[in-house]
Copies of this chain bind each other. A is one copy, B any other.
Amino acid sequence: MTELAPPPTASPSAHGVRVAHDDLLRFTAAVFTAHGIPPERAKAAATALCHGDITGTTSHGLVNLTRIYLPLLTTGRARADAEPRVLADRGATVLLDGQGALGLWLAGEAMDLATRRAAEYGIGLVSVRGGTHFGCAGPHALRAVAHGMVGVVAANCGHQRIARPPGGRVPMLGTNPLSVAAPAGANPPFLLDMSTTTVPTGKVRAAARAGDPVPEGWLADDAGAPVTDPARFDDGEAHLTWLGGAGPGQYKGFGLGLMVEVLAALVPGAGLGPSPAALSVDGAPDDDIGYLVLAIAPAALRQPGIYQREAGSLFGALLACPPIEPGGEVSYPGVPEARHAERSRRDGVPVGRELFTELSALGERLGVAPPGVC
């Protein structure tokens, strides 16, 4: 559902405004509250959603408020007051039915539960069915880092089918995101947050809206030849490639997508992409999404503090790696996002002008004060 790499390049001043960080969260939470979401849930959902804008992953941020989340709530596909049910509890593992609760909140709750179990058992797995779209996977994985733990979050896309198996004519899988977050000592947390396709659909559609070609490698036609016209994706003439490209390496990206389908959806019994129905039904919705939510607690296994020291050394060594280009720098996933977030907190969160206008109108309609420009 998201992809934080390559590093964000948003240049807000060129095309939008900066909005005060806390005020953006306040506004977003108020919009959710106005749709019946209880206040504490609304706050958590706002934090997860705004993570996209705050870290520069705008394809998975507030742009989706009116495109994904409010329609989910108003159509009843997501339920504001759903109470998740525990279907099985084996101590280290909990099987949870999300009951269609808002994924932006549900996934974070699942991670908090996983961290409590990990503190006791060293590992905690919350296996979720009945979920809805949770936005970026990253902020949910990051909740483990606040407890000094490693977090892993993955989701399938329910019954939704977007990407085709290699050599196949019918889409069978979603873009199946995977995120891993880990404390890194005094350095910014490691945060990998990626789709298992080369890019998620959002990037292709953004290019199509802007009338821009996409780089070779994102899309391929039936013969595997690269397609650079993003409009051909929604025409069904071009297809998302798997991480590893359109050649033999695609078995790895496809395999990673399947790994997510197994761990996040087959294990809990959520909706699956590949099913006999896939051969006859087009356009299945992304309902009954499954999540893998995993926390690992190094402090339950080793002396407190030693993980953080060694993690600081590991990630510090990467940052200190001599660059190829003089004046260049070596980084790791999570660093560009942390820098972007720091600037967002200090100078305000960059919001595109079109999105800002949309959010202001939304606020007016709901009687929620729009976010203030810095």
Contact = CB atoms under 8 A, between A and B. Distances in A.
Contacts of A268: 301
Interface of A: 3, 5-6, 87-88, 90-93, 95, 120-123, 125, 127, 150, 152, 164-170, 172, 180, 182, 190, 192, 194, 198, 215, 217, 222-223, 243-245, 247-249, 251-256, 258-259, 261-263, 266-269, 272, 274-276, 278-279, 296, 298, 300-302, 306-307, 310-311, 313-318, 320-325, 328-333
B172 A301 contact: no
A150 B322 contact: no
Contacts of A245: 217, 245
A333 B258 contact: yes
A314 B243 contact: no
A122 B172 contact: no
B150 A121 contact: no
Contact of A255 (B222, B274, B333): B333
Given A301-B93, A323-B168, A272 B328 contact: no
Contacts of A164: 321
A95, A182, A258, most chain B CB atoms within 10 A: A258
Q: Closest 9 CB pairs between A and B?
A: A93-B122, A5-B251, A92-B92, A192-B255, A6-B248, A90-B122, A168-B321, A92-B121, A274-B317
Given A313-B275, A317-B275, A323-B167, A301 B90 contact: yes
Contact of A256 (B6, B123, B166, B192): B192
